Amino acid sequence: MAYLESRKNLAGSAGGLAGLVLTFTGVAGAYWPVVVAGLYGAGALIAPPERPDPPDFPDPSAQLAEVRADFERLEAYLSGVDLPDAAAGRLGELTGLLSALLDPDWAPEILARDPEAVHALSRAVRQDVPEAVDTFVRTRWWARLAPGQEPPERHLEHQLDLLGAEALRLVESVGEEERQRQRTLSQYLKDRSE
C-alpha cells in the first residue's frame, strides 16, 4: 500500500499515462505495451527517493513540563533531608529561583525559545541539586566516624553557592531577552510613527 502512494509509483504512473496518450494518438503503434511499460519504468527511475520522516523529539515546552514534574519530586525529597541552617537557607534560595524559572505562568514561552536554558534547568533539577544534597548526606555519616576532617557542610554550601550563581545567570539571561524584546518593540513603534 505504501508503494501505491510513493513518489516512484506516481511518477511512473504519469509516464504510463503519457505512453497511453502516445498509443491513442497512434505514435506508439504496435509496440504500445513496451512504450507504456518503458515510460512507467523511466518515470519510476527518475522520481526522487522517499525521505524518511525526521524523528519526533519533544519540543522544549514538553520538556519543561517534564522538568516541572521532576522538580516537584525533588522538592518532596528535599523536604525530608535534615540540613544545617546555612545550607538550608542557600538551598531555599536556589529552589526559589528554580521554582520561579519553572513557573508555568511566568516564563514558559521564553524558556521554550532557549533550549540551552531548558537543558540548564533540567541538569540542575535532575542532577546537580540532588547529587549535592545526597553526597552531603552520605559524607556527613562518614565524617561522624572520622572527626577532624573538613566538614561536609562547607562543601555543600560551596556547591549550593555555585548552583545559585548559575541559576542567577539564567534568570539574568531570560530577563535580558525580555528587555531586548521590549527595546525592539519600542524601536519598531518609533520607526512606524515616523
pTM for the full predicted model: 0.66
**Could you tell me the CA-to-CA distances from 87 to 150, 155, 157 in Å, in that order?**
16, 10, 5
CA atoms within 13 A on the CB side of 29: 1
Helices marked H in 27-128? 32-46, 60-79, 85-102, 108-112, 115-123
What pLDDT sits at residue 108?
A: 67
- Tell me the C-alpha distance between 95 and 154, whole Å: 19
What pLDDT sits at residue 30?
A: 87
Q: How many domains does the chain have?
A: 2
* 19 and 94 housed in the same domain: no
* 21 and 80 housed in the same domain: no
- Tell me the C-alpha distance between 82 and 156, whole Å: 13
* 107 and 21 housed in the same domain: no
Residue 105 falls inside a structural domain: yes
Buried b (16+ CB within 10 A) or exposed e, 119-129: ebbbebbbebb
What pLDDT sits at residue 20?
A: 92
* 79 and 25 housed in the same domain: no
Please name which of 110, 120, 125 lies closest in space to residue 176, comparing C-alpha atoms: 110
* 86 and 21 housed in the same domain: no
Please name which of 104, 103, 114 lies closest in space to residue 178, comparing C-alpha atoms: 114
Residue 52 falls inside a structural domain: no
Residue 1 falls inside a structural domain: no
What pLDDT sits at residue 126?
A: 95
Per residue of the chain (194 residues), give pLDDT as tens.
777 888 888 999 999 999 999 888 888 888 889 999 999 999 999 888 888 778 887 777 788 889 999 999 999 999 999 999 999 999 999 999 999 888 887 766 777 778 888 889 999 999 999 999 999 998 887 777 777 778 888 999 999 999 999 999 988 888 888 888 899 999 999 999 87
Residue 54 falls inside a structural domain: no
Residue 76 falls inside a structural domain: yes
Domain around 35: 7-46
Scanning the structure block, which residue is given the C-alpha cell 523536604? 79
* 27 and 91 housed in the same domain: no
* 159 and 115 housed in the same domain: yes
| Cα dihedral across residues 150, 127, 107, 115: positive or negative | positive
* 24 and 109 housed in the same domain: no
Residue 2 falls inside a structural domain: no
Following CA atoms 8, 10, 11, 12 in sequence, which dihedral angle do they give, to the nearest 10 degrees? Answer: 80
* 161 and 90 housed in the same domain: yes
* 130 and 38 housed in the same domain: no
- Tell me the C-alpha distance between 98 and 163, whole Å: 10
What pLDDT sits at residue 87?
A: 92
Residue 125 falls inside a structural domain: yes
* 65 and 129 housed in the same domain: yes
* 11 and 75 housed in the same domain: no
What pLDDT sits at residue 164?
A: 95
- Cα 163 to its chain centre, rounded Å, is 21
